[in-house]
Structure 1
Amino acid sequence: MIISSKNKVIYSGTGRRKTSIARVNIIPGSGKLTINGIPGESYLQFSPNYLRISRAALNILGLDKEYDIYVKTEGGGLTGQADAIRLGLARALCNINPENRLTLKSQGLLSRDSRIKERKKYGLRKARKAPQYSKR
């Protein structure tokens, strides 16, 4: 989705993972990451792993310092949110240039991880954990 406001072009993409949702907007800029109005490094607790996961699509395409990233994320924990940001960013980069799609798809950045928590069943303690069996 492409939004234009005041001579600025905004590219957006939505990413989901478990219960996390990330709405990612990218604007041509200097490469800063802002998540929920907070600098991305402090939001992701200065974890190099989360930062690497979040910026994976930009690093693969070599566009590290080309775009500013603004993210609105909710739900889940930091791991789910970082993966949701990765998917949303990859989808936004596909809106910029359709040729990016081949590179990102081959790296597995455009596939949504559909694993979610299994529901609890009646008669069980959790989704699969049964009460202890007693013979007598």
Structure 2
Amino acid sequence: MAQVTTTLSGLKDLTGTVAAVASEELAQPKLDAQGRAYATGKRKDAVARVWIKPGTGKITVNGRDQEVYFARPVLRMMIAQPFGITDRAGQFDVTVTVTGGGLSGQAGAVRHGISKALTYFEPGLRPPLKAAGFLTRDARVVERKKYGRAKARRSFQFSKR
């Protein structure tokens, strides 16, 4: 991080300087030693660990190709949405480890993870991804069963006699 030395004449100069330093810190990509960006995506009970690096557009999910793992075209379309919005289709290789939930929840978790990893790799891509809602974690989860109940809310059948 570079030291910036400026003289300030008032409070207006101070706010501009703080904003400039903050934007400079935010604009730095977060990469590991191999030049990859890592992020965790979540949806329902599914958790996806995502690594992206520059490449040819190959997406590997749990050691298998995305066409094999996500057989339904709708799920593959969900995963490709962050690349389509940012015009980065075919520019990144993606490696994903996903666990928990069903295939639909896993696809949502992968999309969330890819979106977060893209913002870490290129911080300038955050505004379009945020506007599309891909950086927001879908917090809807299945309601848990309570004791004294048949299911989450359903009571046991009442018997008068």
What's the TM-score once normalised by structure 2's chain length? 0.78
What's the TM-score once normalised by structure 1's chain length? 0.92
Aligned match of 2:53: 27
Where structure 2 has 5 or more consecutive residues not aligned to the other structure, the ranges are 1-29
Aligned match of 1:37: 63
Taking only the aligned residue pairs, the percentage that are identical comes to: 42
**Pick aligned residue for 2:101 from 54, 76, 84:** 76
> CA separation in 2, counterparts of 1:70 and 1:58?
15
Aligned match of 1:118: 143
Where structure 1 has 5 or more consecutive residues not aligned to the other structure, the ranges are none
- Once the two structures are superposed, the pairs formed by residues 1-136 of structure 1 within 5 Å of their partners are 1-5=30-34, 9-45=35-71, 47-136=72-161
Secondary structure of the residue aligned to 1:70 is strand
Structure ranking higher on relative contact order (CA contacts 8 Å, 6+ apart): 1
Structure 1 stretches of at least 4 aligned residues deviating more than 6 Å after TM superposition: none
Letter aligned with residue 31 of structure 2: I
1:64-100 Cα deviation digits (max 9, x unpaired): 1100111011111100100000000000000122121
Higher helix share goes to which structure? 2
CA-CA distance at 1:133 after TM superposition: 2.9
Q: CA RMSD in A?
A: 1.1
> CA separation in 2, counterparts of 1:49 and 1:76?
17
Higher strand share goes to which structure? 1
